[in-house]
Protein backbone atom coordinates (compact mmCIF):
# COMPACT_ATOMS: atom_id res chain seq x y z
CA UNK A 1 0.00 0.00 0.00
CA UNK A 2 1.45 3.36 -1.07
CA UNK A 3 1.04 5.86 1.76
CA UNK A 4 3.68 8.35 0.61
CA UNK A 5 1.30 10.34 -1.57
CA UNK A 6 -2.44 11.02 -1.15
CA UNK A 7 -4.59 9.18 -3.66
CA UNK A 8 -6.02 12.51 -4.76
CA UNK A 9 -2.55 13.45 -6.04
CA UNK A 10 -1.80 10.31 -8.03
CA UNK A 11 -1.93 10.91 -11.77
CA UNK A 12 -2.31 8.68 -14.77
CA UNK A 13 -0.13 8.66 -17.88
CA UNK A 14 -0.58 11.79 -19.98
CA UNK A 15 -1.88 13.91 -17.10
CA UNK A 16 -0.33 17.11 -15.77
CA UNK A 17 1.10 16.87 -12.26
CA UNK A 18 -0.39 19.60 -10.03
CA UNK A 19 1.82 18.72 -7.06
CA UNK A 20 3.34 22.19 -6.95
CA UNK A 21 0.30 24.25 -7.86
CA UNK A 22 -0.30 26.80 -5.09
CA UNK A 23 -3.93 25.76 -4.53
CA UNK A 24 -4.74 22.09 -4.26
CA UNK A 25 -8.54 21.85 -4.11
CA UNK A 26 -8.36 18.42 -2.49
CA UNK A 27 -5.90 19.33 0.25
CA UNK A 28 -8.65 19.97 2.82
CA UNK A 29 -10.20 16.58 2.00
CA UNK A 30 -6.80 14.89 2.43
CA UNK A 31 -6.32 16.61 5.80
CA UNK A 32 -9.64 15.25 7.08
CA UNK A 33 -8.82 11.81 5.64
CA UNK A 34 -5.67 11.71 7.74
CA UNK A 35 -7.70 12.56 10.84
CA UNK A 36 -9.99 9.62 10.04
CA UNK A 37 -6.97 7.30 9.79
CA UNK A 38 -5.81 8.44 13.20
CA UNK A 39 -9.26 7.98 14.72
CA UNK A 40 -9.77 4.52 13.16
CA UNK A 41 -6.21 3.27 13.64
CA UNK A 42 -7.42 -0.02 15.13
CA UNK A 43 -10.07 -0.69 12.44
CA UNK A 44 -9.40 -1.90 8.89
CA UNK A 45 -11.14 0.57 6.56
CA UNK A 46 -12.01 -0.54 3.02
CA UNK A 47 -13.49 1.83 0.43
CA UNK A 48 -15.60 -0.18 -2.05
CA UNK A 49 -16.16 1.52 -5.42
CA UNK A 50 -17.80 0.59 -8.73
CA UNK A 51 -20.33 1.54 -11.38
CA UNK A 52 -24.02 1.39 -10.38
CA UNK A 53 -25.40 -2.14 -10.35
CA UNK A 54 -22.09 -3.99 -10.16
CA UNK A 55 -23.09 -5.86 -7.01
CA UNK A 56 -21.55 -3.85 -4.14
CA UNK A 57 -24.50 -4.19 -1.77
CA UNK A 58 -25.00 -7.90 -2.48
CA UNK A 59 -21.29 -8.42 -1.87
CA UNK A 60 -21.53 -6.59 1.46
CA UNK A 61 -24.43 -8.82 2.49
CA UNK A 62 -22.51 -11.98 1.57
CA UNK A 63 -19.40 -10.66 3.30
CA UNK A 64 -21.40 -10.11 6.47
CA UNK A 65 -22.66 -13.68 6.35
CA UNK A 66 -19.20 -15.14 5.79
CA UNK A 67 -17.49 -13.02 8.46
CA UNK A 68 -20.09 -13.79 11.11
CA UNK A 69 -18.39 -15.34 14.11
CA UNK A 70 -14.95 -14.42 12.71
CA UNK A 71 -14.82 -10.64 12.50
CA UNK A 72 -17.25 -7.83 13.26
CA UNK A 73 -17.96 -5.63 10.24
CA UNK A 74 -19.78 -2.34 9.88
CA UNK A 75 -20.79 -0.49 6.71
CA UNK A 76 -21.24 3.14 5.76
CA UNK A 77 -23.24 3.04 2.54
CA UNK A 78 -23.73 6.06 0.29
CA UNK A 79 -26.33 6.85 -2.34
CA UNK A 80 -27.59 10.10 -3.89
CA UNK A 81 -31.07 9.36 -2.47
CA UNK A 82 -32.93 6.78 -0.30
CA UNK A 83 -31.70 4.46 2.46
CA UNK A 84 -32.61 1.23 0.65
CA UNK A 85 -29.13 -0.29 0.70
CA UNK A 86 -28.64 0.34 4.41
CA UNK A 87 -32.05 -1.22 5.10
CA UNK A 88 -31.03 -4.31 3.09
CA UNK A 89 -27.88 -4.67 5.15
CA UNK A 90 -29.61 -4.15 8.49
CA UNK A 91 -32.12 -6.83 7.53
CA UNK A 92 -29.11 -9.13 7.05
CA UNK A 93 -27.91 -8.31 10.57
CA UNK A 94 -25.13 -5.95 9.48
CA UNK A 95 -24.36 -2.78 11.43
CA UNK A 96 -24.97 -0.16 8.72
CA UNK A 97 -25.56 3.56 8.34
CA UNK A 98 -26.79 5.30 5.19
CA UNK A 99 -25.09 8.45 3.91
CA UNK A 100 -27.47 10.29 1.58
CA UNK A 101 -25.37 12.64 -0.55
CA UNK A 102 -28.32 14.62 -1.92
CA UNK A 103 -27.30 14.13 -5.53
CA UNK A 104 -23.53 14.45 -5.05
CA UNK A 105 -21.76 11.79 -7.13
CA UNK A 106 -19.16 10.82 -4.53
CA UNK A 107 -18.37 10.76 -0.82
CA UNK A 108 -15.95 13.26 0.71
CA UNK A 109 -13.91 12.64 3.84
CA UNK A 110 -15.86 15.16 5.91
CA UNK A 111 -18.99 13.03 5.34
CA UNK A 112 -17.17 10.01 6.75
CA UNK A 113 -15.86 12.00 9.72
CA UNK A 114 -19.43 12.97 10.61
CA UNK A 115 -20.82 9.49 9.98
CA UNK A 116 -18.38 7.62 12.23
CA UNK A 117 -19.78 9.55 15.18
CA UNK A 118 -23.27 8.25 14.34
CA UNK A 119 -22.56 4.53 13.82
CA UNK A 120 -21.77 2.03 16.56
CA UNK A 121 -18.16 1.03 15.91
CA UNK A 122 -17.66 -0.65 19.28
CA UNK A 123 -15.69 -3.83 18.65
CA UNK A 124 -15.69 -3.31 14.88
CA UNK A 125 -12.78 -5.00 13.12
CA UNK A 126 -13.56 -3.94 9.55
CA UNK A 127 -15.38 -0.83 8.35
CA UNK A 128 -16.55 -0.89 4.75
CA UNK A 129 -17.42 2.31 2.94
CA UNK A 130 -19.74 1.50 0.05
CA UNK A 131 -19.18 4.48 -2.22
CA UNK A 132 -21.63 6.05 -4.66
CA UNK A 133 -21.89 4.07 -7.91
CA UNK A 134 -19.48 6.00 -10.13
CA UNK A 135 -16.05 5.23 -11.60
CA UNK A 136 -14.94 8.86 -11.95
CA UNK A 137 -15.59 11.26 -9.07
CA UNK A 138 -14.89 8.91 -6.12
CA UNK A 139 -11.42 8.13 -7.47
CA UNK A 140 -10.08 11.55 -6.42
CA UNK A 141 -11.32 11.53 -2.83
CA UNK A 142 -9.28 9.88 -0.11
CA UNK A 143 -11.69 8.79 2.63
CA UNK A 144 -9.13 7.72 5.17
CA UNK A 145 -9.30 4.15 3.94
CA UNK A 146 -6.52 1.60 4.24
CA UNK A 147 -7.49 0.00 0.93
CA UNK A 148 -9.64 0.85 -2.06
CA UNK A 149 -11.42 -2.04 -3.78
CA UNK A 150 -13.11 -1.56 -7.15
CA UNK A 151 -15.69 -3.94 -8.58
CA UNK A 152 -16.07 -4.34 -12.31
CA UNK A 153 -18.92 -6.59 -13.35
CA UNK A 154 -19.02 -8.83 -16.39
CA UNK A 155 -22.19 -7.01 -17.47
CA UNK A 156 -20.51 -3.63 -17.97
CA UNK A 157 -17.73 -4.54 -20.40
CA UNK A 158 -14.02 -5.27 -20.05
CA UNK A 159 -12.76 -1.88 -21.28
CA UNK A 160 -13.33 0.16 -18.13
CA UNK A 161 -9.81 0.26 -16.59
CA UNK A 162 -8.41 2.22 -19.53
CA UNK A 163 -11.50 4.43 -19.81
CA UNK A 164 -11.53 5.30 -16.09
CA UNK A 165 -7.85 4.85 -15.23
CA UNK A 166 -7.61 6.84 -12.01
CA UNK A 167 -10.05 4.55 -10.21
CA UNK A 168 -7.90 1.53 -10.98
CA UNK A 169 -4.66 3.43 -10.39
CA UNK A 170 -5.81 4.24 -6.85
CA UNK A 171 -7.21 0.78 -6.05
CA UNK A 172 -5.30 -2.03 -4.40
CA UNK A 173 -7.77 -4.72 -5.49
CA UNK A 174 -10.07 -5.23 -8.48
CA UNK A 175 -12.96 -7.64 -8.01
CA UNK A 176 -14.41 -9.03 -11.24
CA UNK A 177 -18.02 -9.57 -10.18
CA UNK A 178 -21.01 -11.48 -11.58
CA UNK A 179 -18.70 -14.21 -12.83
CA UNK A 180 -21.69 -16.57 -13.12
CA UNK A 181 -22.84 -14.53 -16.13
CA UNK A 182 -19.52 -14.82 -17.96
CA UNK A 183 -20.67 -17.61 -20.34
CA UNK A 184 -23.41 -15.34 -21.67
CA UNK A 185 -21.44 -12.13 -22.19
CA UNK A 186 -18.68 -10.82 -24.48
CA UNK A 187 -16.39 -10.14 -21.52
CA UNK A 188 -12.72 -11.16 -21.29
CA UNK A 189 -11.24 -11.66 -17.83
CA UNK A 190 -7.78 -11.67 -19.41
CA UNK A 191 -8.37 -8.38 -21.24
CA UNK A 192 -9.74 -6.52 -18.21
CA UNK A 193 -6.91 -7.81 -16.03
CA UNK A 194 -4.29 -6.78 -18.58
CA UNK A 195 -5.79 -3.30 -18.90
CA UNK A 196 -6.01 -2.85 -15.13
CA UNK A 197 -2.38 -3.87 -14.69
CA UNK A 198 -1.31 -1.58 -17.52
CA UNK A 199 -2.75 1.28 -15.45
CA UNK A 200 -1.61 -0.14 -12.09
CA UNK A 201 0.92 -2.99 -12.17
CA UNK A 202 0.48 -3.59 -8.43
CA UNK A 203 -3.29 -4.15 -8.43
CA UNK A 204 -4.53 -7.51 -7.13
CA UNK A 205 -7.36 -9.24 -9.00
CA UNK A 206 -9.99 -11.66 -7.73
CA UNK A 207 -12.92 -13.19 -9.63
CA UNK A 208 -16.19 -13.51 -7.72
CA UNK A 209 -19.87 -14.31 -7.93
CA UNK A 210 -21.88 -13.31 -4.88
CA UNK A 211 -24.86 -15.37 -6.03
CA UNK A 212 -22.87 -18.57 -6.60
CA UNK A 213 -20.29 -17.96 -3.82
CA UNK A 214 -17.49 -18.21 -6.39
CA UNK A 215 -14.22 -16.70 -5.17
CA UNK A 216 -15.68 -15.45 -1.90
CA UNK A 217 -13.34 -17.55 0.23
CA UNK A 218 -10.40 -15.77 -1.41
CA UNK A 219 -12.11 -12.40 -0.79
CA UNK A 220 -12.60 -13.21 2.90
CA UNK A 221 -9.00 -14.38 3.16
CA UNK A 222 -7.84 -11.10 1.58
CA UNK A 223 -9.77 -9.13 4.23
CA UNK A 224 -8.42 -11.23 7.09
CA UNK A 225 -4.86 -10.93 5.80
CA UNK A 226 -5.06 -7.14 5.47
CA UNK A 227 -6.52 -6.83 8.98
CA UNK A 228 -3.73 -8.98 10.40
CA UNK A 229 -1.13 -6.91 8.56
CA UNK A 230 -2.57 -3.69 10.01
CA UNK A 231 -2.61 -5.10 13.53
CA UNK A 232 0.98 -6.29 13.20
CA UNK A 233 2.07 -2.91 11.84
CA UNK A 234 0.42 -1.08 14.74
CA UNK A 235 1.94 -3.44 17.27
CA UNK A 236 5.35 -2.99 15.67
CA UNK A 237 5.03 0.75 16.12
Handedness of CA 117, 78, 164, 205 (dihedral sign): positive
Residue 16 reports pLDDT greater than 90: no
- Residues written for the chain: 237
* CA pair distance 195, 12, nearest whole angstrom: 13
pLDDT of the residue at 17:
52
Evaluate whether residue 22 is within a structural domain: no
Give the pLDDT mean for 6-34: 68
Least confident range from 1-15, 115-129, 162-176, 207-221: namely: 1-15
pLDDT of the residue at 134:
92
* 221: phi then psi, degrees, rounded to nearest 5: -65, -40
pLDDT of the residue at 158:
96
- Per-residue buried b or exposed e for 207-236, using 16+ beta carbons within 10 Å of the residue's own CB: bbbbeeebbbeebbebbbebbeebeeeeee
Residue 15 reports pLDDT greater than 60: no
pLDDT of the residue at 102:
83
Domains identified in the chain, total number: 1
Evaluate whether residue 167 is within a structural domain: yes
Q: List pLDDT tens digits, range 48-88.
A: 999 999 999 999 999 999 999 999 999 999 988 878 888 99
Evaluate whether residue 164 is within a structural domain: yes
Q: List pLDDT tens digits, range 86-112.
A: 899 898 899 999 998 887 888 999 999
Evaluate whether residue 237 is within a structural domain: no
Model-level pTM? 0.90
At 204, which CATH number? 3.40.50.300
Evaluate whether residue 15 is within a structural domain: no
* 42: phi then psi, degrees, rounded to nearest 5: -100, 5
Evaluate whether residue 159 is within a structural domain: yes
* Strand 147-153 with 204-207, pairing: unpaired
pLDDT of the residue at 20:
53
Give the pLDDT mean for 143-165: 97
* 236: phi then psi, degrees, rounded to nearest 5: -65, -35
Evaluate whether residue 235 is within a structural domain: no
Evaluate whether residue 6 is within a structural domain: no
Q: List pLDDT tens digits, range 159-202.
A: 999 999 999 999 999 999 999 999 999 999 999 999 999 999 99
Residue-range definition of the domain harbouring residue 115? 27-224
Cα distances from 98 to residues 79, 119, 134, 177, 212, in angstroms, run: 8, 10, 17, 23, 27
Amino acid sequence: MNTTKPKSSRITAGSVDTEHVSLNLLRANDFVAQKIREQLKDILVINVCSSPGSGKTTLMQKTGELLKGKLKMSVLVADPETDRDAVRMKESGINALQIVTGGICHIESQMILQAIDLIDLEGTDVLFIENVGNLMCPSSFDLGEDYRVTLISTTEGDDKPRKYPKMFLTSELMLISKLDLLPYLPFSVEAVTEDARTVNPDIDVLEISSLKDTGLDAWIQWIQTKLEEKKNKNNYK
